[in-house]
Each structure stands twice: as structure tokens, then as C-alpha cells.
Amino acid sequence: MRRTSPLKYSILCLAWLLPGPAAAHAFAQRYDLPIPLGLYIAGAGLAVALSFVVTALVVRRHDAGYPRLELTRLGPGRLLVHPVVVGLMRALGVAVFVLIVAAGLIGTQNQFKNIAPTLVWVIWWVGLAYVSALVGDLWRLVNPFATVFRWAEALHHRLTGVELSGARPWPKPLGVWPAVALFFLFAWSEVVWSGGEKPFNLSLMILAYALIARTGMLTFGREAWLAKGEAFTVVFGLLARFAPTEARTGADGRPEFALRPPAVGLLAEEPISPSLMAFVLLVLATVTFDGFRETPAWVAMFDAVFEAKPLLPLLTWLYDAGVNLPALVTTLAMLLAPCLFFAVYMGFAWLTRMAAGSGPGVGETARRFVLTLVPIAIAYHLAHYLSLLLIAGQLIIPLSSDPFGFGWDLFGTTLYLLDISLAPARFVWYTAVTAIVAGHIAAVYLAHRVAFQIYPDRRAALRSQIPMLALMVGYTMVSLWILAQPVVAG
């Protein structure tokens, strides 16, 4: 049997209790589309294509500047960065971290009665990604790994008078590859590892990650590790480049915030590193694979592997050796997904370079345009996990009264029942369509801005965008097709 996330499985169980015809992907209820799916897919693709025409008429040059409103210069903004408020937010992040670890270690191992799985997989991973993309980089403020190390640094300096962090420079060839590897392991634990929702395993995984973070910060310094090695600082920071708020550290070490137009943070003046490009493609590939893994097409491909006669001797040998074959096949597919995304993206980068007829080489072209794909990753994350957040996220209400599963009722909410009406299928479907189309339109706009940054000649800039437009229209249609498929055990 292949694995379905227990939190997702609870939603599927609720869905099966409801009457109605075919279900759309990741929905909590069943819903008949009012028009054929093909018309939705074609219409969404056409909307993205038309956005190319509109953008081509509006965007005529690259403007490096954009309006900003410094929030820290205003009354409410000064309050947000007040040391007391910042300290309380950081302490809250550490308190939640301690609660998760303690609940996993000493609480019940029933994932539906222990607060740790819901806090990690639903509230933190899904919810904080939404906050990062739509509001700002909250993780930068509440990151418990950074906060605990910051406290340790201050205490060590007060007691000894010397710095705690190591002064070893970050090797330039290393880029953000440590963050790439750690993020893949995190995604694997979510998608493949059957023990990922068991509270005790989850706590051990978090403690192991904390040890890695501590070692990295001791070796290279806190800021260097957070920027290059800490996977979630990198991923939430990437998503937050789309947000209308910009967070940064001031000269005095205190956080600063500014308002800006959405998505402009993704307009880099210089090509990003190959490792950061790999990180962007990995994020896009893993969230897409997680969705595809729950479709009938995946089931057919999965079954075809085990029914292939040439593979039978190898599969039999692996099975006799005690290998978990479903997990192995899913892991290999998960490794293949970012490789496939990379190959396709580099192919379109080559076409972009050929269409422009001038400018940087294929590698630099790819590294300049890859951040324009971030809105697509945000859109698909929002569309894919919306019903999970709205339904499974309600588990936090009863679990807040009994986080360890000891039978407590601290706030009188332990008898709260999930309300699936908060995520009606019609609402989820239209939100998903809107998010997917809007994300791709934002990507088209950003790609135009980058094209005018790279190619001074307007015709060359417009020609360069034809391959990128084809890529984004195609991915729009594939994304909606995945979301509209009936859910199967993933």
C-alpha cells in the first residue's frame, strides 16, 4: 500500500461520507464543474497568453526603482520593531518550538490527538508559507534556531568577552547547496516517509535539524548559515520576495520593514547563483510532484513499474532484501521530478537565448529568469494546500486545549468538531483557478521586466519572451489538470 499523509487522509475520509459525483483534486467535498474541464484549462491558458499582450504594451523598459514606504519611520511601524515587541515575538517562536518537541517526546503518539503534527505540517509549513508570500517574512523574526543561538551568543559574550560564532568564511562554491539538500530531505519526509507524522519521530527530526543549524552557525556564523544553509530561511525568504513588505536588518541590528509593490522583490539586478536556481526549481518540482502523486495518472505509472516484467527480478531481489519498494519508487520519482524540471527549464532558457539573438549565454539567461517562476510556486502551493489548511488547520482548536493528548481541556475546546463547510469545493476550485492564473500572469509580468533589463533592444526583449510564454501557458494548463483530478491514495 502506498502512503497517504494522515492529515490528508482525515480529509478524504470526511469527503467519502458526502454524497455526489466526481471530486476535484485536494478538495474536501465533491463538486461538478459547471463547464467541461478542458474549457477551464483552455481559458486559463488563454488568459495567461493575453496577459503577455497587455504586458508587452505596458512594459516598455526596465525601471530599477520602485516606490517604498518605510514603515519603521511611522508610529505603528516603530512599534513593530520595538525591542520589547521583537523580543516577545522571538520568545513566542521558541515557546512553540519547545511545545512541539515536548509534545512529540512525551505526548500521545496518536497524531490526531498530539499538537505537534498539526503545528508542523499544517500551521507552520502550509500556513507560514501563505503568510510569507502574502504578508512578509515572518520566519525571519520568529525563527527559533536563530533566536536560541542569538541568546547563546549574548550570554557567551557576557561571560567570556569573546564571540561564540566561528569566523570561517563561507566557501563560495558551496552556494546554498546545504539548504537545497536539507529542503529535499524535508520534502521527502513529508511526501515519502511514513513516520513523518508520528510525533516522536517528528521531534527527533526537529532536534536533529536544530543540531545541524547550531553546528552551521558555530562554524560559519549565524548570518552566514541562515542565508546559505538554513533551508527554511531560504525558502520563506524566497516566497517573501513576492510579499508587499520588505524585511531587512538595519545598521543597528534591529529589524526594519518597508511597504513596496508586490513581486518587485523578485527582480534581481544580477543573475542569481546556480545553487539558488536549483533551490527555486526544487521547490516548484516538489510541490507539483506532491499534487501529481495523488492523481490516477500517478497510480497508473506506479502500477506499471511493478507490472513491468524486465524489472521483476530486481524488484524481487530488493523485496527479499527488506527494501520498502513503494517508498523506493516514490523516492526515485521525487528525485527525477526536479531533474525533469531543470531539463525543461534549461531547454526553454536556450530557446529564450536563441529568440533574443543576443545577450548573455544560456546559463546566465536561466539564472536571470528563474526568480520569475516563484509566483507560480506560490500559486500552486496556495491552490494545492488550501483545503488542507482550512479543514485540518481547525485541529489546532481542540489540540490547543490538550496539546499532549493527556485528556486536558485548558480552554474548553477539546470537543470542537471540524467544520468542512469552511472549505466548500466550489470556493476551493475557483480560488485555485484564480491563484494559478494570477501567479502565471505575475510571472509573465516579471519576465518582461527582466527581459528589458537584459536586452536594451525592445524587439529582442519581446522575442525572448515567446518561449517563456509557452512555458508558462503550458504549466498553467498542467497545474489546473492536476488540481482537477480525483484524489487517490498518494
> For residue range 154-213, what is the model confidence (pLDDT) as tens digits?
888 788 877 776 668 899 999 999 999 999 999 999 889 888 889 999 999 999 999 999
* Domain annotation covers residue 138: yes
- Decide if pLDDT at 15 tops 50: no
Q: Quick one: average pLDDT of 200-229?
A: 94
pLDDT of 3 reads 43
8 Å CB contact between 81 and 72:
yes
Q: In one letter, which amino acid is 236?
A: F
Closest CA relative to residue 249, chosen from 362, 86, 397: 86
Residues 6+ apart with CB under 8 A from 388: 7, 8, 11, 26, 122, 126
* Domain annotation covers residue 204: yes
Residue 39 lies in domain: 6-483
Residue whose cell numbers read 502506498: 2
Of the listed ranges 26-40, 87-101, 236-250, 346-360, the one predicted with least confidence = 26-40
* Domain annotation covers residue 490: no
> For residue range 409-432, what is the model confidence (pLDDT) as tens digits?
999 999 998 888 888 888 888 888
* Domain annotation covers residue 429: yes
- Decide if pLDDT at 452 tops 50: yes
pLDDT of 155 reads 87
Q: Quick one: average pLDDT of 279-284?
A: 95
Q: How far apart are CA 437 and CA 380, in angstroms?
A: 10
8 Å CB contact between 5 and 294:
no
User: How far, in Å, are 7, 183, 418 from residue 388 at the CA level?
Assistant: 8, 21, 12
8 Å CB contact between 418 and 391:
yes
3-state secondary structure of 195: coil
Residue whose cell numbers read 545553487: 275
- Decide if pLDDT at 35 tops 70: no
pLDDT of 32 reads 52
> For residue range 99-123, what is the model confidence (pLDDT) as tens digits?
999 999 999 999 989 999 999 999 9
- Decide if pLDDT at 319 tops 60: yes
* Domain annotation covers residue 341: yes
pLDDT of 21 reads 34
Tally of CB atoms within 10 A around 459: 10
Distance between alpha carbon 78 and the CA centroid of its chain, in Å? Answer: 30
Distance between alpha carbon 242 and the CA centroid of its chain, in Å? Answer: 13
* Domain annotation covers residue 371: yes
pTM for this predicted structure: 0.88
Q: How far apart are CA 162 and CA 165, in angstroms?
A: 9
Share of the chain above pLDDT 70, in %: 86
> For residue range 378-421, what is the model confidence (pLDDT) as tens digits?
988 888 888 889 999 999 999 999 999 999 999 999 999 888 88
Number of domains in the chain: 1
Q: How far apart are CA 142 and CA 90, in angstroms?
A: 5
